[in-house]
A and B are shown apart, each in its own frame.
Chain A
């Protein structure tokens, strides 16, 4: 697997280039956490509040910062003082940036392990140039992870590395290790709770119960269950034990779950609530126009700004945290039920993606960065079927574009556009290459449909130029719309027309981006659900035919593990 190592080295080197790039406040957040964990006893970690950026990740992440701080002490002790707010010497910047780059190697290791597993490949022998290393390339040069970690500044690389590692271990049937890594992950960043239901259901069904037999009390393995439970409890015990001992568990939890924040983040993540808020705005404007609403009942800021922390709805009913939880759970349940039935590795990965989707779309105070939690596991499936590849293309392009507002300084503004273009062109070219002729037929059919409906061949021809590989014409138009949206958001067209919409409505670009991207994300979610249902259907058929031909013995596992072609 020298190839993965080469790719990893190249990517680590390229990331070094971005050391002087713009850093968000998250840089100071993590510096502060280095200082807290280094200079204070454990009992003070979750009490300390000199800086406004208090420690709000679970304890194992704090220990991770503690380990880093041991090295940092040799680099520049100045960054380890709690009172040294906004300290950013050259050595500090270098240390923190390099620490992200080096901890990314956990992610690379997980990718190497996945690559060796050689799962979810189609049977098709593709003549494409880079098909063997397609998934490692897409994962290692993930645009979103790059700008969030190496420009904006966070440690998602190591976290997604542990996530992938836990998935790979479970797929390798080293279940205990997989559970261990997932528990560690939960104790490093609790946002991964979103995908915990998929793990729970899958492990319960395939590990605690016998995968090959129907569920009953006799097939329940107590030793497996105890093993699993003890490893999970052990990790949680090590993590939270000291705080229980210090009677701080309430304090820790209040830091971890700050429900005082609003339904949406300052910049709306592209989810259901973005659409909901957008609709609310629309109704407000329409209401004002037709006199159903009175201007003086509306707070001034909400019309001009509209992106304040607590967004208050004008027309639509306000949403309580409980509602978001219930909706997320409802969205997850069908996926989990199907996972229980299918119990295949494929369904496991699909369920992870769907759980992440549900909580991203309906969750309370979702950050736009959480889209990576959907895109990264989805990447694992691009070689499984053409539909998966297509959804990956749509979702990654849309999701990455929705990360654009994270960067707004001049150099980074250009870089983000250039890098996203490269990532997208590469993904489209390589996947088109991989699925080869398959895309031709679909484009042919849509072309003829267009030709007949529009009646004019020249228009159809010019439309064909915009037809993206693997996608149908509507999906292509949607993605091209992203280009238009960003051109509009740059303020150039309105400047040409002499309108100053941008200075009057500074948040309009952000709102448009999140609403537009929300449409694409929701489309992908529905389509992805449809794929899981297809799997269920085909596995039903498979089981029936297996039963006919082999007398219905242990074939369900092997058939589901089999690489399928569609």
Chain B
């Protein structure tokens, strides 16, 4: 059916096409997708948020509101410093300045609307319907002006191959309807959509070879949320690699240009805190708290998954542990980093950002379960290249956050979102099509395990001795998957021409579709893509 639709739309294109080669209907369909994604987020917004009715600390919702209160009432100097009006023990600001500015603007608007919502010191834990509405709408606004436009722009303008409208629409749908991000942002309450939206825009800029713009956008993302460091290495490697490719005079010029814009962006954003070394250090200390735990709650990473056998948390003190984490992480991230540095192609960059963020998630220090989103969003960007693995990974990534979502009373929206996502991707993308039966079987088995674990968490009372047993099992189960996916995405990135033989070696895990690893610069693509599309058509027949 999808194929028929594609042909139909293409036949329409000749008579009714616009400047980018898309038909007029396409834009209406795109509008339909965007509107449905907005209402999907709005529907999630009606459910509970983190820490609702849980004094004294509440949760991330109160944290963000508290930051609005701080930033809109205090001068920038006092934001990151303990003081009479700023108790750092009560949700002290620990995100970079861009978040602070965003919160300041939101707080100022809230003040205009109703000052009680952000009254300094007196508004702690306020949970009136008005506050809830206001906060929810601020997230929705960010979806509307940053995340969704980034997603749409990425797939509409960032096509390497021939324009296939159905493919563009389904890709937009997958990324925009990915349940994890909407549930965390519009349900649990955070603003990941801003940093991840900026990251998607930066990736688009790199795809279109606007490297300088990409660097600026990534700096913005990094200054919104320090967790974007998970993506920093691929960006660095890709840009550096491209400079090296250019040769000495040109490359050096480009490198200095990139260095300049990065430093300038940082300087601009950090300017209120650069008046003295102490004030800059104060911010940095808030951003990278090495005295906090190895991981929070039960996270699907390596350190938590081995905790039944070795309790690193108890054996080694946090300062030491942080260094070990850094060492292990950099060791594992090296292969993908070096590969990208040597061959800076955009395809490799895509897979490298998944790999780097997955490895950071699994091995770095003080990881939250929500951080899997940082790996999931770049994975959505390669949905067209390896749909099967991406959909599988996305489903498991939501599963790994189930305990958190359950705590926030978001079980029903999670269930609905995941079911609809799976039904939708099955209908539009058909990830299991052209896959070998044993691979599909493995997927079904993996889902069955996830469903069983979820049901057990909901309905079975845990044994007295191990109150967190199900959360831990979910973490270990997800970690096993993430580990496999890391290997898979590494092969996709590094394999290159040898990929087919690698798959032959690992034939137990081999997807049957021969993945094309194309060189991706514009000149080669046009020829390449036409032949590939012909090949694809033949295969379908």
Contact = CB atoms under 8 A, between A and B. Distances in A.
Contacts of A16: 412, 415-416
Nearest to A429: B28
Given A13-B419, A17-B416, A129 B4 contact: yes
Contacts of B42: 411, 414-415, 418
A388 B144 CA distance: 36
B47 A20 contact: yes
B28 A422 contact: no
B420 A20 contact: no
Interface in A425-439: 425-426, 429, 433
B28 A425 contact: yes
B43 A410 contact: no
Interface string B18-56: 000000010011011001101110111111000000000
Contact of B43 (A6, A10, A18, A127): A18
A493 B46 CA distance: 28
Interface string B406-427: 0000001101100110010001
A433 B40 CA distance: 26
A14 interface: yes
B1 interface: yes
Contact of B39 (A13, A128, A129, A422): A422
B39 A418 contact: yes
**Chain A CB within 10 A, most for which of B29, B412, B427:** B412
Nearest to B130: A410
Given A129-B4, A410-B133, A422 B44 contact: no
Majority SS of interface residues in chain B?
helix
A19 B44 CA distance: 10
Interface in A1-60: 6, 9-10, 13-14, 16-21
A19 B45 contact: no
Interface residues of A, number: 26
Given A127-B8, A129-B5, A411-B45, A14 B35 contact: no
A361 to B, nearest CB: 32
A138 interface: no
Given A13-B420, A17-B416, A411 B36 contact: no
Contacts of A10: 420, 423
A128 B1 CA distance: 10
A6 B38 contact: no
B39 A415 contact: yes
Contacts of B47: 20
A129 B1 contact: yes
Contacts of A418: 35, 38-39, 42
Contacts of A406: none
B302 to A, nearest CB: 35
B24 to A, nearest CB: 10
B39 A20 contact: no
A445 to B, nearest CB: 18
Interface string A98-123: 00000000000000000000000000
A81 to B, nearest CB: 26
B4 A415 contact: no
B196 to A, nearest CB: 23
A9 B416 CA distance: 10
A26 to B, nearest CB: 19
Contacts of A425: 28, 31-32, 35
A137 to B, nearest CB: 13
B429 to A, nearest CB: 15
B412 to A, nearest CB: 6
Contact of B32 (A20, A128, A411, A422): A422
A433 B23 CA distance: 13
A17 B413 contact: yes
B39 A419 contact: yes
Nearest to B45: A411
Contacts of B31: 425
A19 B412 contact: yes
A304 to B, nearest CB: 28
Nearest to A418: B39
B483 to A, nearest CB: 31
A421 B35 contact: yes
A422 B46 contact: no
B97 to A, nearest CB: 31
Contacts of B29: 429
Contact of A13 (B32, B45, B133, B416): B416
A426 B133 contact: no
Contacts of A419: 39
A19 B420 CA distance: 17
A418 B416 CA distance: 19
Contacts of A429: 25, 28-29, 32
A429 B8 CA distance: 14
A503 B2 CA distance: 52
Contacts of A14: 43, 416, 420
Contacts of A411: 42, 45-46, 133, 136
Nearest to B43: A17
B8 to A, nearest CB: 6
Contacts of A21: 43, 46
B366 to A, nearest CB: 33
A20 B423 CA distance: 24
Interface in A382-413: 410-411
A418 B39 CA distance: 6
Interface in A411-468: 411, 414-415, 418-419, 421-422, 425-426, 429, 433
Contacts of B413: 17
A16 B412 CA distance: 7
Contacts of A426: 32
A420 to B, nearest CB: 10
A129 B423 contact: no
Nearest to B15: A440
Nearest to A428: B28
Contact of B46 (A9, A18, A129): A18
Contacts of B45: 411
A421 to B, nearest CB: 6
A508 B413 CA distance: 37
Interface in A112-170: 127-129
A429 B4 CA distance: 17
Contacts of B415: 13, 16
Contacts of B46: 17-18, 20-21, 411
Contacts of A18: 43, 46
A228 to B, nearest CB: 43
A100 B38 CA distance: 25
B235 to A, nearest CB: 35
B128 to A, nearest CB: 13
A17 B418 CA distance: 12
8 contacts: A9-B423, A14-B43, A21-B46, A128-B8, A411-B133, A415-B39, A418-B42, A425-B32
Given A16-B416, A415-B42, A419-B39, 9 more contacts: A10-B420, A13-B415, A13-B420, A21-B43, A410-B133, A411-B46, A415-B39, A422-B32, A429-B25
The 8 nearest A-B residue pairs measured at CB: A17-B43, A418-B39, A129-B5, A20-B46, A13-B416, A422-B35, A16-B416, A425-B32
